[in-house]
Amino acid sequence: MNQPNVEVQSIPSPGTDRELLRHALATLAYRGGKVMRGVPAEFSDFRIGPASRSPIEILGHICDVLDWSLAMAEGEHRWSETRSTVWRDQVDRFFQALTDFDDYLASDRELGFPITQLLQGPVADSFTHAGQIAMLRRLAGSPVKDENYAKANITRGVVGAEQPPAEPEFD
């Protein structure tokens, strides 16, 4: 069977499971930041049904999940719920929680839970909820532009609000 002629770029591999998890956090920062930027003022309270979560509630939950991920890394199973009605505050909290967790992973401190549990629990859950916000943006009439995320400029350790621009986005 003939394989298509595909150009393969030489990109350094992450090297360790810990570095791969840090890359996942950078990916979450990139993709999460994209769905959180430029939302209309009324978007945070948008609901698709009476029992559904609003985007601000979903974002708050993501932040709670990221706080939980750091607690797990520190060896604790600590959960708390924080309520906020201010979108910008929760966006700031999102990036701060990612930064705190990434800083822990970048250190030489021991992990209190296996990396596999950190990935399959809080990190995967955060991706799911970021996708929910993207879906709600589309339903609210403020869709996020599509892009080829495999080509995104995502760098391990870059987990703050300042993310590289998307290239290329599709209309």
151's CB contacts (< 8 A; 6+ apart) are 167, 168
How many domains does the structure of the chain reveal?
A: 1
* Residue 159 contacts residue 26 (beta carbons within 8 Å): yes
Does a structural domain hold residue 82?
yes
Indicate yes or no: pTM above 0.85.
Answer: yes
Percentage with pLDDT > 90 across the chain: 80
Does a structural domain hold residue 137?
yes
- With a cut of 90, say whether residue 76 has pLDDT above it: yes
Please report the pLDDT score of residue 1 as a whole number: 47
CATH of the domain at 74: 1.20.120
- With a cut of 80, say whether residue 45 has pLDDT above it: yes
Does a structural domain hold residue 133?
yes
Does a structural domain hold residue 170?
no
What DSSP assignment string belongs to 2-23?
PPP-----------SHHHHHHH
Closest by CA to 72, choosing from 104, 106, 31, 32, is: 104
Does a structural domain hold residue 113?
yes
34's CB contacts (< 8 A; 6+ apart) are 144, 163, 166
* Residue 95 contacts residue 33 (beta carbons within 8 Å): yes
Tens of pLDDT, residue by residue over 89-147, are 999 999 999 999 999 999 999 999 999 999 999 999 999 999 999 999 999 999 999 99
Does a structural domain hold residue 71?
yes
Does a structural domain hold residue 148?
yes
Q: How far apart are CA 127 and CA 135, in angstroms?
A: 12
Domain span holding position 79 = 17-36+54-161
What is the total residue count of the chain?
171
